[in-house]
Amino acid sequence: MPGDGAKVGVLALQGPARLHASILADLGASPVAVRTPADLAAVDALVIPGGESTTMSLLLDSSGVGDAVRERLAGGLPVLGTCAGMILCASEVLDGRPDQRGLGAIDLSVRRNAFGRQRESFETDLDVEGLHGGPFPAVFIRAPVAERAGDGVEVLAQLDEGAVVCAAGPVMVCAFHPELGGDLRLHSLFLERM
Amino acid sequence: MPEPHQLAPSADRPLTGTFRVKRGLAEMLEGGVIMDVVDAEQAKVAENAGAVAVMALERVPADIRRDGGVARMSDPALIEGIKAAVTIPVMAKARIGHFAEAQVLEALGVDFVDESEVLTPADEAHHIDKWAFTVPFVCGATNLGEALRRISEGAALIRSKGEAGTGNIVEAVRHLRSITGDIRRLTVADPAELYDWAKRLSAPVGVVQEIAGTGKLPVPLFCAGGIATPADASLVMQLGASSVFVGSGIFKSADPPRTARAIVEATTHSTDPDLVAKVSRGVGGAMPGLEVGTLDTRLAERGW
């Protein structure tokens, strides 16, 4: 299986960490909840789940995990960021809070709540480059999009509003929630790219 | 779960308001703190402290309790002011059974409706048919049967009722222990016993069977009602809640921004007592509490 032997951290400061952990375990990886720099030091890769990016940003600072992730990113840490995780990974947040400090893991300009409020949240079948076996069931909850992708960033899926799956080296981000659709392929692709 | 209002899939039209989309927002709020706010200024304090969402209401429960009278949905102008002030999700309360208030809240674009016993009930027999809405609903429960009845009506999130406005955690603990205890008992019940369980819980047998298999509710379980300190948040998270609602506990404390921030940290790091000690140190006076035995009105008894 793609995850064999890998210790994959799931950032557990806020958001549905347990859903990602259960998918990673199904793919043969060993998921580890990450709340401290010591937790992070013990993992080979990191999943940053959805949730509220403003909340997670504050908790990344206060826990010291944010700086520890920045250090590991310089050394090529594989990261999968979903929804709020995509916002945190981006080099630029177009309408973020002034004190919000991103991780700069991938050269993207991301807009928060790009589709509107919860009323406008939706699910759809999405074609993702590199995923075989048909479209992916994508659940978008108050989701962001990338309005600009830098040089060297691959855009793997796109909607009218902007890019919704992007990758650069070992870093991969998506605007929707691959943990909610009951489909393991996106996590599997991330593990294969590690 | 049945999804009677689910639309047929269509290639050119994304699906909004499906149960997965509704429950999805509840899941995104896990590990977080939802704070009661009465105006835009308080909403900003909550967002700056790391709230995952705010709950807009006219008066916090402690004031509803003190002032009496009929408590209703907030003024739309107030909700719009709060929506404009923050980027995090905005929830608002409707009276039990008052589907017209819920329709107004949906039209205003709130992200979650709380069909809440903190407001004066509008219907003594019927809760809102929550399947009929695009916006997700959260409902309170004191026990597993009540939780399952709300879920069968379409609730995407369950919270303990606790006893709002008291700053006393005892009722929320009772409700959480009752719900999680009965879930544990279901997982070891003989399949033939589940029909009697469904009868005793006054809940559909299908969902009772599902829980017996999975060992958890089909939607997230949060805690509300009486949380006043970081240690209260840590307690209920360790008892099986996956997030906390804090009502009067923040803006009735001596130092709201600091109390709010400390409760956020204690919710995330609930199993780290050193950290809970650190954020609790010198945080200042918690809201004054009330003994549950002295109350004239028990809000948790509203709803059925």
pLDDT at B4 over 80: no
pLDDT at B235 over 80: yes
Of A13, A19, A121, the CB nearest to B268: A13
Chain A positions in Cβ-Cβ contact with residue B106 (cut-off 8 Å): 119
Chain B positions in Cβ-Cβ contact with residue A119 (cut-off 8 Å): 16-17, 106, 109, 111, 134-135
Look up the pTM and report it.
0.95
Q: Which of the four pLDDT bands, split at 50, 70 and 90, describes residue B66?
A: confident
pLDDT attached to residue B13: 62
**Where in chain A are the domains?**
7-193
Looking at chain A, the number of H-run helices and the number of E-run strands are 6, 12
Q: What is the C-alpha to C-alpha distance for residues A152 and B295, in angstroms, rounded to an integer?
A: 64
Mutate to test the interface with B, among A39, A119, A145 (most CBs of B within 10 A): A119
pLDDT digits (tens, 9 = 90+) for B165-180: 899 999 999 999 999 9
- Using CB atoms and an 8 Å cut-off, which of residues 63-102 of chain A contact chain B? 63, 83-84, 95, 97
pLDDT attached to residue B7: 42
* Cα distances (angstroms) measured from residue B219 to each of A147, A151, B148, B157: 33, 41, 10, 5
Average pLDDT, chain B: 93
Length of chain B: 304
CATH class, domain A7-193, is alpha beta
The residue assigned the tokens 């107030």 is B78
Burial of B23 (0-12, 13-18, 19+ CB in 10 A): buried
Strands of B129-185 (E only): list them. 137-141, 157-160
* End-to-end Cα distance, chain B: 21
Which tokens in the block code for residue B117?
């016993």
CB pairs under 8 A between A and B: 114
Helix (H) or strand (E) run with residue A163 in it: strand A162-168
Q: What is the C-alpha to C-alpha distance for residues A166 and A145, in angstroms, rounded to an integer?
A: 10
Residue B20 touches chain A, beta carbons under 8 Å: yes
**Segments of chain A scoring below 50 in pLDDT:** none
Which tokens in the block code for residue B223?
């805690």
**Over pLDDT 70: what percentage of chain A?**
99
Contact A139 B20 (CB under 8 A): yes
pLDDT at B6 over 70: no
pLDDT attached to residue B14: 83
| CA neighbor of B55 nearest in space, from B98, B112, B17, B108 | B112
Burial of B109 (0-12, 13-18, 19+ CB in 10 A): middle
| CA neighbor of B215 nearest in space, from B240, B195, B232 | B240
Residue B52 touches chain A, beta carbons under 8 Å: yes
CB count within 10 Å of CB B204 equals 15
The residue assigned the tokens 């790219």 is A193
Helix segments in B202-255, DSSP class H: 205-214, 230-238, 248-251
Could you tell me if residue A37 is left (phi over 0), alpha (psi between -120 and 50 degrees) or otherwise beta? Answer: alpha
Q: What is the C-alpha to C-alpha distance for residues A84 and A58, in angstroms, rounded to an integer?
A: 13
